[in-house]
Amino acid sequence: VALRLQRNGLTRIRPLEGGLHLWRSRNFPVDELKPLRVITP
Amino acid sequence: VTDLDALDVLVRYGYVILFVFVLAEQVGLPIPAVPALLGVGALAGAGRMSLLLAFAAVLAASLPADLGWYELGRRRGRAVLGLLCRISLEPDSCVRRTENLFTRAGRKALLVAKFFPGLSAIASPLAGMVGVGRVSFVVLDSLGAVLWSGTWMGLGYLFSDALELIAAHVTRLGHYALVAAACALVAYVVLKFTQRQRIFRSLRTARITADELKRRLEAGDAGLVVVDTRSALDVSTEPYAVHGAIWIAAEEIDARQHELPRDREIVLYCT
């Protein structure tokens, strides 16, 4: 995604280190999203 | 070893060869099982092998491997995909394509996942992650394996004459064909690996840490936009986002990039 955006002229791209997993593991603030689609077991 | 000996070896150990190739592919290694399936189908067409035993070999190889990945996905979640990422040559796109397939088709994705190279190993842990039941998984995965192997072996069976001609040409070329195939495989792996390393190097330099992002968000820094690029399936399994982030799934990024300001830093994250 970062490379695609860079190729289209958005040059100030910064991937978040550790992604959402690390962010949540540090108990940093999050917003709750409504589940979009659930696959029934 | 004469040509006849070599063919005899192939007929004698065909099921074992098939088992090893299918197992390697299902474990996630970049080794395609399709040539082995075509070959076995062609030999079955010539009456030298049994399709029934070939199906048994395919199931014996794929089901335990898939079930192992499924259980890991069920118990360890996304950490398993991280492990597969380290094995696969195109992990990021392959994980995303599999997730999209699951989002569109649900459990039925297991029936067709094996037709897409690189997807089949990801499909099993993903099925475990999204909560597909064990019995459903075994049934759908077995049907998928039969469908996939049956298609390729069926093609080998139908075109056994043509495949025999190709095999004869390859045999005449002898070691040169083997060396050329090995070189092509090594070149492919090296190319993919260096491409991947180059991408990671360029992104590593620009990364933002969680601490820095939190600090800047708390300070009300208007110079950045946070974008959640996870797929719909990821959002369904983990319905949380970094505070203030906008959600644009990776597959929508081209269509919606006009929403992103060019004069601000764009922080991207996935799982």
What ipTM was estimated for this complex? 0.84
Beta bridge partners of residue B267, listed in sequence order: A14, B226
- Cβ neighbours of B265 in A, within 8 Å: 12-14
Task: At A12, list the tokens.
Answer: 């100030």
DSSP structure class, residue B114: G
Of all residues in chain A, the percent with pLDDT exceeding 70 is 80
The residue with greater pLDDT, A29 or B190, is A29
Contacts of B122 (CB under 8 A, 6+ apart): B28, B81, B84, B88, B94, B95, B98, B113
Encode pLDDT of B96-112 as tens digits: 666 666 767 777 888 88
**Cβ distance B54 to B19 under 8 Å?**
no
**Cβ distance A12 to B103 under 8 Å?**
no
Average the pLDDT over B72-99 and give the result: 66
How many angstroms separate the CA atoms of B92 and B232, rounded?
15
Which among B106, B210, B228 has the least Cβ separation from residue A22?
B210
Q: Do B78 and A21 touch (CB under 8 A)?
A: yes
| Predicted local distance difference test score (pLDDT) of residue A27 | 93
Beta bridge partners of residue B242, listed in sequence order: A30
Instruction: Give me the residues of A, 22-41, that contact B with CB < 8 A.
Output: 22-24, 26, 28-41
How many angstroms separate the CA atoms of B147 and B112, rounded?
8
Distance (Å) from the alpha carbon of A5 to chain B's nearest alpha carbon: 8
Encode pLDDT of B134-144 as tens digits: 999 999 999 99
Residue B172: pLDDT over 80: no
Encode pLDDT of B20-63 as tens digits: 989 988 887 767 788 889 888 888 888 888 889 999 999 999 99
Which among B229, B243, B265 has the least Cβ separation from residue A30?
B243
Which among A13, A23, A35 has the least Cβ separation from residue B210?
A23
Sort B86 into a burial class: Cβ within 10 Å, 0-12 / 13-18 / 19+: exposed
Instruction: Give me the residues of A, 3-22, that contact B with CB < 8 A.
Output: 3-5, 8-10, 12-22
Q: What is the pLDDT of chain B when averaged over all its residues? A: 80
**Cβ distance B62 to B69 under 8 Å?**
no
Task: At A23, list the tokens.
Answer: 């962010």
How many angstroms separate the CA atoms of B169 and B155, rounded?
20
